[in-house]
Amino acid sequence: MKITRITSHVLRYALPETLGYSQQYYDARTTHLVEVSTDEGITGWGECFGPGTIALANQTIVEKVIQPLVLGMNPMDRDVIWHKVYNLLRDHGQKGMPLQSLSGVDIALWDIAGKIANLPLYQLLGGAHRDSVPVYGYGMMLRPEPVRELRARFRDEAAHIRSMGFAATKMKVGLGPQDDILLAKAVREGVGDDFAFMVDANHCYTTSDALRVGRALSELDAYWFEEPIAPEDRDGYRELRARLDINIAGGEAEFNRWGWRELLECRGLDIAQPEVCALGGISEYLRVLALCHAHHTPVVNHVWGSAVAVATNLHLLAAMPPLPGGLHPWEPMLEFDTTHNAFRDELLREPLDIQGQVWRQAGRASIPSGPGLGVEPDRAFIEHYKN
């Protein structure tokens, strides 16, 4: 079997409302799907992390840089392909967009491998440790509106996410320490005392501000404090973890086994959040997962994007070994964006319907059982939303 074509589909639509996180507001949603075709008619699907114009740059890397390197190769040789591409791109980017681009191709190759074997991805990975996973619904995005309105909105939205049946929720911060603490109080008020919520700063704080916010979040009994400071600041992460009671989470902006080795050796994370569509695909995710567990660091995958990314992560979460294990073990959760996302809800011929599953299954989502990723994108939908 040979790879005959790699096609990159960048899809885009205008969001019904402006949303934001600590770094920017945005009005459009983008997703970047990768399709790998073969001479035997089997097609694999993957996804690259990276919104907006980043997706357009990655599209060029996928089609103009990676495709010529792997045309004619056997799609089952995915580890050979991974290293051929990485070794040739090393001099031009060991992190960031080259790795995001390679991720989409690698995921599609695993989808092909599952379709050839007629087995779901989780079985190729060694089997399912769980047949469903708890889902946390994130929302409480920033909006360009006064903090007083945002506080009321966050309180109501947090209560609504809980009422939808999610196992936990997550909010954004990024207005500055004082207002952010008020927003977190509003979320605690909204969900009540007996429900887990997490806080995502998207690396907007200095270490001293993160200490101040982190202490307040500890008092509110928030479950984790995500990307409090810049991902490059390894010493800062170590300091925060040593001085704060709240779990420190992060890692979505880290890439490949070498970046993750450094990050883990700094001992600055209580919870690791690898992004399979960015760090180098499933092949590299498995190496990063092994590194995380070798450092006794629990993993809750970072999940963003379309139904292809969600399905990929459901398989990875199913196949993740328990750490440390037990009768009632600690479990990873699926990250789920509760804001408007047509690429997740309407892309597939048979939608995953995560929200319906969460409602019917006490906050849990089942693992897809079809071959490969177990999902089939609707080509008419892709054509309609093509950038």
Rg (CA), the chain: 20
Question: Which of these ranges, 5-13, 200-208, 241-249, 303-311, lies near Ca ion under the rule CB under 5 A?
Answer: 200-208
Pick the closest to residue 170 from 21, 305, 335 (CA basis): 335
Please identify the residue of the shown chain whose CB is closest to the bound Ca ion: 200
Closest approach, Cβ 35 to Ca ion, in A, equals: 27
Q: Which is nearer to Ca ion, 250 or 281 (CB)?
A: 250
Please tell me the distance from the alpha carbon of residue 268 to that of residue 168, in angstroms, as a whole number. 23
* Residue burial 199-208, b: 16+ Cβ < 10 Å; e: rest: bbbbbbbebe
Cβ atoms of 229 and 209 within 8 Å: the answer is no
CB of 18 to Ca ion, least distance (A): 19
Q: Which token pair is 138?
A: 């994130």
Q: Is residue 302 annotated as part of the catalytic site, yes or no?
A: yes
Interatomic CA distance for residues 303 and 320, integer angstroms: 15
Q: Among residues 9, 32, 203, 302, which one is catalytic?
A: 302
Specify the residue, 249 or 311, whose C-beta has the smaller distance to Ca ion. Answer: 249
| Pick 109 or 204: Cβ nearer Ca ion | 204
Task: Report, in Å, the least distance between residue 211 CB and Ca ion.
Answer: 20
CB of 272 to Ca ion, least distance (A): 12
- The answer to the question of residue 275 lying near Ca ion (CB under 5 A) is no
The whole-angstrom separation of Cα 76 and Cα 57 is 27
Among 200, 233, 331, 337, binds Ca ion (CB under 5 A): 200
Q: Which stretch binds Ca ion (CB under 5 A): 47-55, 118-126, 184-192, 198-206?
A: 198-206
Closest to Ca ion by CB, 35 or 275: 275
Could you tell me the end-to-end alpha-carbon distance of the chain, in angstroms, rounded to an integer?
31
200 or 337: whose CB is closer to Ca ion? 200
Rounded to whole angstroms, the Cα distance separating 46 from 307 reads 10
Stretch that binds Ca ion, among 46-54, 60-68, 135-143, 199-207 (CB under 5 A): 199-207
Amino acid at 175: L
| Helix H or strand E segment including 5 | strand 3-21
Which residues contribute to the site for Ca ion (CB under 5 A)?
200
Which amino acids are annotated catalytic?
Answer: 302
